[in-house]
Structure 1
Amino acid sequence: MRRISSGMNNADVQYRLRTHESKLNHSNNQLGSQHRIQQLRDDPIAAGHLVRYQSYKGRVDTFETNAQVLTERFSVREGYMNDSLQILHRVRELAVQGANGTYTKDDLANMATEVDELLKELIQNANAVDQDGNALFAGTNTKTTAFEVEMGNVPGSAIPLVATVTYNGNVDSNKVEIDENQYMNVNNSGNRTFWSEHQQLFTERDASGYQASADSVIGVDGHQIEIKRGDNVYAIIAKINDSGAAVKASIDPVTNGLNLITTDPRQLWLEDISGTTLTDLGVIAGNDQRPPYNLAVNAKVSGGSMFDSVIALRDAMLVGDQEAIGGRVLGTIDQSMNNLVTRVAELGSEYERAALNITRNSNTSLNVTQMISTEGDLDFTKAITDMKMLDYVHQATLSVAGKLYSSTLLNYMR
């Protein structure tokens, strides 16, 4: 029940005016922001959808950016790898010429000068950095020089030349998210890209009676393998072979020692993460040195890098050893080229996958933007019409209120 009083008209008019001004202000805010939803209570269901769509679009844009960065890095790496492949082609040409038996020792020594310069260029490519100063072929250890050069005296040369090239990076890889819970495993280890042969390791310690004395964890080519107390060498071999690492283990039928060989050209990467299993088996010398140069002194290792192949060619030319040039040296150079071609093909495949993700995420972003527009954008035609109606009603209300308040005290004093 409402109480009738002389102030009722004024109270009602003021209330209606404030309410109408609030609606008019809301309409003005919608037009100014171009968004239909100004507060959650305007449309709770649509607001909930809108928040989820906006969050998803942010993730999709991040996936697209990640894939774009990958394609750029892959392009830079591919350029250096293709250049290295051209260098190896020239090295092979020199090796074939030097092995045909028509050149004198002095001629071979002159060829060795060019081979040495090509070796330096190959090392320069392997130590390349990107625009941010990160090493391209050092795994995740991007702030170091990927390959370290050691100079030394070489027979047939009067000046020190490159004697050994050692790897300073690691074999760890980065996982980059390119879609919802979908990752690209990016591995840029230089001891895979610039390797020549399958590396093999033969231990001389009899492991037939070995049993792990405690739980431990070993690292094989970047994979962590858990060893349980009581595991014998055959259980360890099975775990290594089933780990997914590019390394196969076996027991030597003569020495009963543990043998390891990579499944493709790469350098063995072995370590005791916890415990001393590999040390006890005579595989590594302990944890005093970092991989890959922590192998046991008595272990026999074969299989080198493409730098070793080029160094071997240069050294054979300096001493005039044509038989070595046309034999093992030429064979390892061919293996180096085959491995580098394989790595370029892998990189090209990764580039194509990243490029496809860019296209898909770009299309997905457009679709999600349309969904956001449907839920949250303003219908300008309807909004302008509503605002004009509200403004018309507001002006009419003010006009009526003015007439209601036109009477003053003077009207009753006549």
Structure 2
Amino acid sequence: MSQSDTFFDYKHIWHPYASMINPVPCYTVISAKGVYLKLKNGKNIIDGMSSWWSVIHGYNHPILNKALKKQIRKMSHVMFGGITHPSAIALCRKLISLTPEKLDCVFLSDSGSVAVEVAMKMLIQYWQSLGQKRKLFLTIRNGYHGDTFAAMSVSDPENSFHKIYNNLLPTNLFADAPISSFYKDWDANDLISFQKIIEENSSKIAGVILEPIVQGVGGMNFYHPTYLKKIKILCDHYSIPIIFDEIATGFGRTGKIFAFEHANVIPDILCLGKSMTGGTITLAATLASRHIADTISNSKTGCFMHGPTYMGNPLACAVANANIKILKTNQWKTQVSNIEKQLFKNLLPLIDHPYVIDIRILGAIGVIECSRLVNMFSIQKFFVENGVWIRPFKKLIYIVPPYTISSHALKKLTNVITMALNNTKLFM
């Protein structure tokens, strides 16, 4: 990549959550292998982010690459309206076998945000099919469900990237986020806010939507499994369907194949994405119960009103099949367990650091909550110069490495985080 290419990128390409006037510098990656990103200057850096939670088996995995090559020789894409194909059928079989028996109707889409949109549209149409015009959704604060409009409307209106859109979004219901953390005692007071809202609005609520156990970029909070159990009991009591957004946590990230397994509960609708293809190509899925699917299908409309152009893309489905095949060898269980143990060993001692408020670890997720905001420009440069790719936000430095990371590479990530905490120039 030439100097002119770098300048063109800086001048004309709009990156995520970035300014076009004063953008944070981008680092050019020319190839990737395993857990390493190779920069244009030839330097290899360890990816601690799995390309935003998705590359769980590392880059350029031979099995995933082989699946893509095999499929592309047949066809790269075909419309899913009125047409089906073997890769999509095989994938939906695998998703149904991997998830609870209740979830047996699969709607494929092309991104996590769209999977959430689909889930919410399903419930609005579900209630319309029953002769009720319910449009309110109940969730908890500190949540994040994506950047499209319905997804933004159920992300925290105050503590998210979407505050500037608040006056344009549908108004939904937000209960206080639970304070009881995953590893500490359950406090029944956590349920008061949610219970009050659901009792007062039960006849208006179309559905509840939650990130089970792990709240992602809304604050990287890990809440107590009992909270999820109690929410499910309330939803069942009032016959309100519940959506679990497992886009970030699905496929082993928390030490369970799905995070809701920590609470031993089952949703009515499940949203999946990110690591479903092992981070090779975009794909998402919304799984619904037969009851919801049949209720919608028996309505006057007679069908669910949604259909992305790239729905069921054969390339994406083929590589997702290969990814799930890798997961079914169950190596991920040992890999994630080993990562968790090492994170406890290497990160927990930082709890006494003057810049650290809290350390949170679950599965292959490690979070350091700092007392000061990070200087994004400075800290990103510091990480790259020290051979790692970690992308913090606000007061959080967190890592979600590929499951295949070696003990040595993981130690490098945590060592560089320690070095960053000791550098006052990297904080505001």
TM over 0.5: no
Q: What TM-score results when the alignment is normalised by the length of structure 2? A: 0.23
Greater per-residue helix proportion = 1
TM-score, with normalisation over the residues of structure 1? 0.24
